[in-house]
Copies of this chain bind each other. A is one copy, B any other.
Amino acid sequence: MIADPDFSSIATLIADPSRAAMLAALLGGQTLPATELAHCAQISPQTASTHLNKLVAGHLVTVKRQGRHRYYCLASSEVATVLETLATLAPASPVRSFQQSQHAQAIRQARTCYDHLAGQLGVELTRQLVSRNLLNPIEPAYQVTAQGEQWFNELGIDLKLLRQKRRALACQCLDWSERHYHLAGALGAALQSRWFELAWIQRIPASRAVRITEVGRVEFFKMFGIRF
């Protein structure tokens, strides 16, 4: 028998600033070792260890042992969704240090939202896809237009394959930094991996910020007329 669902137990796990920092790092969709996460949260390895145990026990993250390393990653895309949704409500925290400001700028410009692109780049690309009539926004989702069908296939994305997945093809995900929707779902994920394949974007280690490469700058401009 299930009683009242307790938000509080899960919220408690997320509430601690150190744990939140580690979860934020994992929101990049990467798997990271414990020491790396300790570094992200600016805490000692001992402390990180206890935190990570709690996160695993709470089913927010999973571990894989590989030799003397333990690699952690978010337990599921639902966890990522919860974190992103929480971020939507979170107040804009003022920047304190220069380093923080650099990081803030990077993360606002382009970042992964677990498996799809977010930030200015993510939102702008989505806007372009819509204004070029490749996607059609119908409230909680995007519809791929006939033109879009062809365009995505030419880009090397197999829509038929994506449709076979259980997952939603193309949905609207609220961007906490831009306060505007960007493309999520299977198509969003496929698009992101295509940009990575083409090396138009690059991961920044242990961060969910993403670097737009020189090639990317040129090609995104050619393709969409946008400057980054």
Chain A residues in the interface with B (C-beta under 8 A): 1-12, 14-17, 19-21, 23-24, 58-60, 78-79, 81-83, 85-96, 100-101, 103-105, 107-108, 138-141, 167-169, 171-172, 176-177, 185
Tally of this chain's copies? 2
A59 near B91: Cβ-Cβ < 8 Å: yes
Question: What chain B residues lie within 8 Å of A88 (beta carbons)?
Answer: 78, 82
How far apart are A37's CB and chain B's nearest CB, in angstroms?
A: 15
Please tell me which one of the listed residues B2, B81, B85 contacts residue A104 in the complex, with CB atoms under 8 A apart: B2
How far apart are A144's CB and chain B's nearest CB, in angstroms?
A: 12
Q: A82-B85, A171-B139 are in contact. Are A176 and B5 (CB under 8 A)?
A: yes
B140 near A2: Cβ-Cβ < 8 Å: no
Can you report 10 A-B residue pairs in the complex whose CB atoms are below 8 A from each other?
A2-B93, A4-B21, A4-B100, A5-B87, A5-B90, A6-B93, A15-B15, A78-B88, A78-B89, A85-B85
A16 near B8: Cβ-Cβ < 8 Å: yes
Q: Select from chain B the residue with minimum beta-carbon distance to A92.
A: B2
A169 near B9: Cβ-Cβ < 8 Å: no
A15 near B20: Cβ-Cβ < 8 Å: no
A87 to B85 Cα, complex, angstroms: 13
